[in-house]
Structure 1
C-alpha cells in the first residue's frame, strides 16, 4: 500500500487555540487523494510570538523538530515572521514553507499592491525588514496593526470588527488590492473579512499549505 504524503504544519507558539485555528483553516485543502495535513504545536515555544527575541529563540527548536520528523514530505512554519526558516531549510532536503513568504507571494498573484494586518505596531518593523530582503517593498501598499495580542486574535470577540476597520483603511487609504493576514492566529476570520472588504484576503497558512500540496503533487 502506497504511503499517503504528509504535510506537517508547525505552530511555533505554545498556544493550542492557535493550532486549532490552523486545523480549521486547512480543512478545505484536505481531500481523499491528497496529502495528509497535520498541525502540531511546538511546546517549547512562547505563548505568543510578538518580539524579535521570540523569533530568534525559535530557530534551533524548529530545526530540531524538522530534523527529527521522518514521516513528513513538506513542512510549513506557521508564524508570520517565518522564524528559523533558513536554518530549518538547511536541516532537511524536503521543502520548508514560511507562511509570510507564501502569503505575500500569493497576494502578488491577486493584486498589484497588497496590505498587511499586523497584530501590534512593534511587529511592523520586523515584517518590513523581511519584505526588504525579498525586494518587495514597492508592492506593499501599507501595513497597519490591530494592537492586540496573538491570543486575542485567536479567541477575542472583537477581533473581526477590528480587522474590518483596519482592512478598510488599507483598502481605502493605502490602496491595497489584496490583504494578507499577518498572524496565524487570525485564521478563522479570513472568509468574513473578505466578504466585508470585497477584495481578496489571504490566509498565509492556507497559502503555504497550498504551495506544499502543489510541490508534492508534481514530485
Structure 2
C-alpha cells in the first residue's frame, strides 16, 4: 500500500480520536478513582478513620470490575453508553466503558501510592490535632505526589491499550484503523504503522510522567 494524503489524513484522524478517548477517559477515571483510592486507605482497619466493612465492600466491588475483560465490559455496558452519550458508535461512545474499566484500576494505583506514606508522618499530624481531611490534603496527597504521577502515566498507558480495542465495536481511533485495514484487509504495513504510533505515544506519556515525578520529588534537589 502507498501512504498518500488520504492515508496520512486517516492516521491523523485516528491519532486525534485515540487521544480524545484516552485523555477524556483518564480525566473522568481519576475524578472517580482518586476518591475511591483515598476511601480504601482511610477506612482500612489500620487507616486514619477505620470502617473495615466499608473498606472490604468497596474493595470487593473494585476487584469485581477489574476482573471483567474490557472487551466483555465494552459490550455489556452498551445500554449505559447509549443513555449517557446517545450512541454506541464513535470515540465518544468508548469513553463511558473506558471510565468504568479504568476507574477501579486507578483506585488501586492511588491506594498503593498512599500506603507508601510513613505511618510516623501520619501519627505526627494526628498528634498536632490535624483532622482527617487535613491529613488527606496536607499529608497523604503531597507526600505521594511523585508516586501518583508515575501511577498516572501507567494508568493512561493502560487506558490507551484498552482504547485500541474500540475498533471491534466501531469506536474509531488507531485501534479501529489497525483492525479494519491491518486485520480485515490484510494490510500488514498499516498494522505496523498504527502499532508504531501507539508505541510512540506510550513512550511520550511514560517519559512525561517520569519527568514530572522527578521534578515534584522533594528528595531530589
Common topology (TM > 0.5): no
Q: TM-score, normalised to structure 2's length?
A: 0.28
Higher strand share: 1
Larger of the two Rg values belongs to structure: 2
